[in-house]
Amino acid sequence: MAATATARVVDTVSAARSTIASWRAAGERVAFVPTMGNLHAGHMSLAALAAAAAPRVVMSIFVNPTQFGPSEDFAAYPRTLAADETLIAAAGDVDLLFVPEAAEVYPFGIEHAVRLQLPPLARELCGASRPGHFDGVATVVCRLLNIVAPDLLFLGQKDYQQLVLMQRMIADLHLPVELRMGPTHREPDGLAMSSRNRYLDAEQRKRAPALQRVLARVRDELRRGARDFAQLTAQACAELENAGLRPDYVEIRRRGDLAAAASARDEERVVLGAAWLGRARLIDNLFV
């Protein structure tokens, strides 16, 4: 539990920095949970982990324009600040909520922003169908880390490729922060919680848990000793189609760096998948 139940809400870099500086002056460590808002129990579980790990927790809500492709849902992305603040107040884990406008995060404008370019892994898996997405994530997370200067950064396993890429960015840029992972929070039927689940209509929502079910079956077969990765993933895509989803990919990779699965020890594998269902692009992953 954080020291205060009500989070202070700020929208400028200077206000965020001066609050955080006062904590630092008192010797308090800071944990950071970046989000795009429309908060759900998955986000809040990261805040709870952060509060257990450090006396001060900063959460950001920022729908980052540089990580959306031109045909993606930037304009439609759910913005629910009042409800988000209610959730944060009820949980009491967040000390500072940073809710900047784009002009605050990108003081020279989006077109003139310094941008980061991640290594080739950013063009694989989700990056193959979302060109520039992870570079945009790196471009904003690096800024947020520079603004907040946290000791600890909490990211969710649900966006596992993002997490691996952010770990790489932190190591490669020598950023003085420790990354910690929170487990994927799920609905009772297994669907990973996501702000984009609200794009599903009632009928699609019933089909959506198929992604997790299919990935779990691949995981279980791997645990039982199956090693024909190409056959396993092809069959998984066929099962997703049968369930009414449009598969983007199902892949088996090495957990640490998302290199090819063949290079991993059996217990070091991760099964990742993405599929479209109506307007939503669902992603999920399971460790073997």
| Minimum CB distance to ligand AMP smaller for 49 or for 250 | 49
Amino acid type, 248: D
Instruction: Enumerate binding residues for ligand AMP (CB under 6 A).
Output: 35-36, 42-43, 45-46, 155-156, 158-159, 182, 184-185, 192-195
Cβ 217 to ligand AMP shortest distance, Å: 20
Q: Does the active-site annotation cover 174?
A: no
Q: What 3 state SS string does 150-209 have?
A: CCEEEEEHHHHHHHHHHHHHHHHCCCCCEEEEECCCECCCCCECCHHHHHCCHHHHHHCC
Cβ 43 to ligand AMP shortest distance, Å: 5
Helix axis angle, 210-223 to 229-242, nearest 10°: 160
- Selected catalytic residue, list 43, 112, 174, 185: 43
Q: How far apart are CA 208 and CA 174, in angstroms?
A: 39
Task: Give the catalytic positions in this structure.
Answer: 43
